[in-house]
Amino acid sequence: MSVPKYWRNIPQRYRLEAVKCIKCGKLFFPPRPVCNECRSQEFETVHLSDEGKIVTFTVLNSAPSKFSYQTPYPIAVIELSDSAKICAQITDCDIDKLYIGMPVKLQMRKLSTEGDAGIINYGYKAVPA
Amino acid sequence: MVGITSYGAYVPRYRIRVEDIAKEWGADSESYKRGLFLNEKSVAGMDEDTITMSLEATRNALRRAAIDPNKVGAVYVGSESHPYAVKPSSTIIAEAINAVPHCHCADLEFACKAGTESLFITYGLVKAGLITYGLAIGADTSQGAPNDALEYSAASGAAAFFVGTENIVANIEATYSCTTDTPDFWRRDNQVYPRHGGRFTGTPAYFKHVHLAGKMLLEKTGVTPAEIKYAVFHQPNGKFPQRVSKMLGFSKDQIKAGLLAPSIGNTYSASSLISLTAVLDIAEKDDLIMMVSYGSGAGSDAFLFRVTDAIYQTRDKAKTTMSYVNERLVYLDYGLYAKYRDKIIIS
Ligand SMILES: [Zn+2]
């Protein structure tokens, strides 16, 4: 990931900043400039809950080279308690014990590093609650 | 009054047993277990580092007390394992809790004392009226070279404290700090593993400074060891804190609650601070707590705290420190441990 792109995503990656359409109330994560429901461009910033449950998940056994040292690892769709849905890796878990509906909490983790000398990419992962 | 308004700890779930390290090197595990009171140590997960652990400890503190991030005027992270050599850990923490941009941030380094330094400095700033709240963190993913004595103890963990003037859970009654130039432990620039002076790390280093700081704090406050409910010391192993506490006149009962090195090892900059959080989890109103840190190089920071009744409304809102120490543990063998701690070079 390029440094400017990482930097632009900091509010959502570090503190789950989303936007809510002021006109129709629709929630967007990641934030977007125009509401796809009512075309409004007026939003307020909201912070998503860091608690939720697993909607569905899959286990990756063959991963891109950057993540290959972590295999096998699960990726899940998680519904947060404020009903937003996000996609995240599940970490610190016993893969055999994961189930749909399992309560999880989001934590900041190291997602990847850009080689030996590039930046460290931090972001959220889910941990069994 | 200036004191701790909230606190949080974080210890990773991974452990390696002393036997499993000793086995690889043909060493005698009993000499570490009986000689140094070390049984196992915590190991950071592959996706954890000083920054991620610092943030989780901070979030536990925020779960205990909803502190307005706009009022956090300083964030200090003390560590000897900052993920970047240049680029602060503290800026990432400040950004994650939304304390930016009106905030003073710095990373501190003083071997195992960097964490209590952050507490020392935030206390001074709050007391001077320069900031409303300060966030003081000690965290480390410390490394010992393979087959070095330090490999049996170098562990991972974090503790975070908000310091302020309102809703204080533990008032800071007094502080004392001492420093000398003592080369007992060091790591040169660009080196992965530290070096140490072997037996030299004991009498002229740890014992001299921790004893002096403890003694001076007691003299300064006129408090006797018998009046103190809990004494917490830096824990390079399980043995040193027991010996220094005896030198200062404390009983085994007074140090038991904060003696975590046998279960999690030496969490370096977080060591005495995580122990303080474990004591705050069980302390009662008006209890006096003494904490003395130690950092090689060398120096000690000593604090005397008095617990207030605000502790009862605060502490149950986040996971206890002992639940991190004892629950959901996963034991690694040496191979996995080497992988987790980047001890294997993959080219
Ligand atoms: Zn809309």
Å between A44 CA and nearest CA of chain B: 16
Question: Does pTM top 0.95 for this prediction?
Answer: yes
Bridge partners (DSSP) listed for residue B98: none
Tally C-beta pairs within 8 A across A and B. Answer: 46
What is the distance in A from the centroid of ligand 1 to the CA of B97?
Answer: 28
A95 to chain B, any CB pair closer than 8 A? The answer is: no
In this structure, what DSSP letter does residue B117 have?
A: H
Residues B269, B117: contact at Cβ < 8 Å?
A: no
Note whether A105 contacts B: Cβ–Cβ < 8 A. no
| CB-based contact, B181 to chain A, within 8 Å | no
- pLDDT bin (cut points 50, 70, 90) of residue A1 is confident
Work out the burial of residue A25: count CB atoms within 10 Å of its CB; fewer than 13 is exposed, 13-18 middle, 19 or more buried: exposed
- Cα B133 from Cα A61, distance rounded (Å): 46
CA dihedral (A51, A13, B66, B129) in degrees, to 10, reads 170
| Inter-residue contact B24 to B334 (CB < 8 Å) | yes
Cα of A31 vs centre of ligand 1, distance in Å, is 12
Both tokens of A92, joined, read 């610190």
Residues making up chain A, counted from first to last: 129
| Rounded distance from Cα A9 to ligand 1 centre (Å) | 22
Tell me the per-residue pLDDT of B289-301, one tens digit each, with 9 for 90 and over.
999 999 999 999 9
Whether B109 is catalytic: no
- Tell me which chain A residue has its CA closest to the CA of residue B83: A120
Residues of A in contact with B339 (CB under 8 A): 69
Ligand 1 center from residue A41 Cα (angstroms): 8
Domain with residues B3-169+312-340, CATH architecture: 3-Layer(aba) Sandwich (3.40)
CA distance B316 to B327: 17
Choose the mutation target among A12, A46, A48, A92 for the interface with B, i.e. most B CBs under 10 Å.
A92
Of the residues B40, B48, B56, B80, only one is catalytic, namely B80
The single-letter DSSP state of residue B157 is E
Q: Which residues in A lie closer than 8 A to residue B46 (C-beta atoms)?
A: 69-70
> In which band, very low, low, confident or very high, does the pLDDT at B269 lie, cut at 50, 70 and 90?
very high
Contact across the interface for B96 and A108, Cβ inside 8 Å: yes
pLDDT, residue B198, reads 80
**pLDDT at residue B72, rounded to an integer:** 98
Structure tokens at B299: 């120096």
**Mean model confidence pLDDT for chain A:** 95
CA distance B276 to B259: 10
Closest-CA residue of B relative to A105 is B56
**Sheet with A51-60: strands ordered across:** A85-89, A73-80, A51-60, A103-113, A120-128
Q: What is the pLDDT of residue B111?
A: 95
For residue A76, give Cα distances in angstroms to A12, A51, A60, B84: 18, 14, 11, 30
Query: In this model, does residue B344 exceed pLDDT 80?
Result: yes
For residue B235, which amino acid is it?
Q
What percent of chain B clears pLDDT 90, i.e. is strictly above it?
A: 95
In this predicted structure, what is the pLDDT of residue A68?
Answer: 87
Q: Does A49 touch chain B (CB under 8 A)?
A: no
Give how far A107 is from chain B: nearest CA, Å: 7
Residue A88 pairs with which residues in a beta bridge? A76
Q: Does domain B170-310 have CATH number 3.40.50.300?
A: no
Residue A112 sits at the chain B interface (C-beta within 8 Å): no
Which of A15, A50, A110 lies at the smallest CB-CB distance from B47? A110
pLDDT, tens digit, for every residue of B97-148? Answer: 999 999 999 999 999 999 999 999 999 999 999 999 999 999 999 989 999 9
Tokens 């002992």: give the residue.
B322
Q: Domain locations in chain B?
A: 3-169+312-340, 170-310
- A45 contact B CB<8A: no
Helix (H, G, I), strand (E, B) or coil at A64: coil
Contact, B332 vs B16, CB < 8 A? Answer: yes
Range in B24-28, B155-159, B340-344 with the lowest mean pLDDT: B340-344
Nearest CA in chain A to B60: A107
Question: pLDDT (tens digit, 9 = 90+) per residue, B215-265?
Answer: 999 999 999 999 999 999 999 999 999 999 999 999 999 999 999 999 999
Q: Percentage helix, strand, coil, to 5, in chain B?
A: 40, 25, 35
Mean pLDDT of chain B: 96
Q: Which alpha helices (H) appear in chain B, and where do they start and end?
A: 18-25, 29-36, 50-64, 89-96, 114-127, 208-221, 239-248, 252-256, 261-264, 271-280, 311-314, 321-326, 334-340
To the nearest 10 degrees (0 to 180), the angle between helices B50-64 and B89-96 is 40
Contact residues on chain B for A110, CB-CB shorter than 8 A: 47-49, 51-52, 83
At B197 the pLDDT is 86
The answer to whether residue B112 is catalytic is: yes
User: In terms of DSSP bridges, do strands A17-21 and B297-307 run parallel, antiparallel, or are they unpaired?
Assistant: unpaired
pLDDT at residue B347 tops 70: no
Q: Are the Cβ atoms of B51 and A122 closer than 8 angstroms? A: yes
When pLDDT is averaged across residues A96-117 and rounded to a whole number, the result is 96
Contacts of A91 in chain B (CB under 8 A): 45, 47
Q: Is the pLDDT of residue A118 over 80?
A: yes
What pLDDT does A51 receive?
A: 97
Closest CA to B252 of B233, B266, B267: B233
Q: What is the pLDDT of residues B63-104, one digit of tens each?
A: 999 999 999 999 999 999 999 999 999 999 999 999 999 999
Whether B261 and B241 have beta carbons less than 8 Å apart is answered as yes
Q: Is B80 a catalytic residue?
A: yes
pLDDT one-digit tens code per residue, A42-71: 999 999 999 999 999 999 999 988 888 899
Give the side-chain half-sphere CA count within 13 A for B156: 26
Q: Which residue has the tokens 């060591």?
A: B271
Nearest CA among B42, B46, B38, B4 for reference residue B22 = B38
Number of other CB atoms surrounding residue B246 within 10 Å: 12
Contacts of B121 (CB under 8 A, 6+ apart): B74, B76, B108, B134, B136
Q: List beta partners, residue A58.
A: A75
Question: Which tokens go with A114?
Answer: 């850009």
Interface check A10 vs B, CB under 8 A: yes
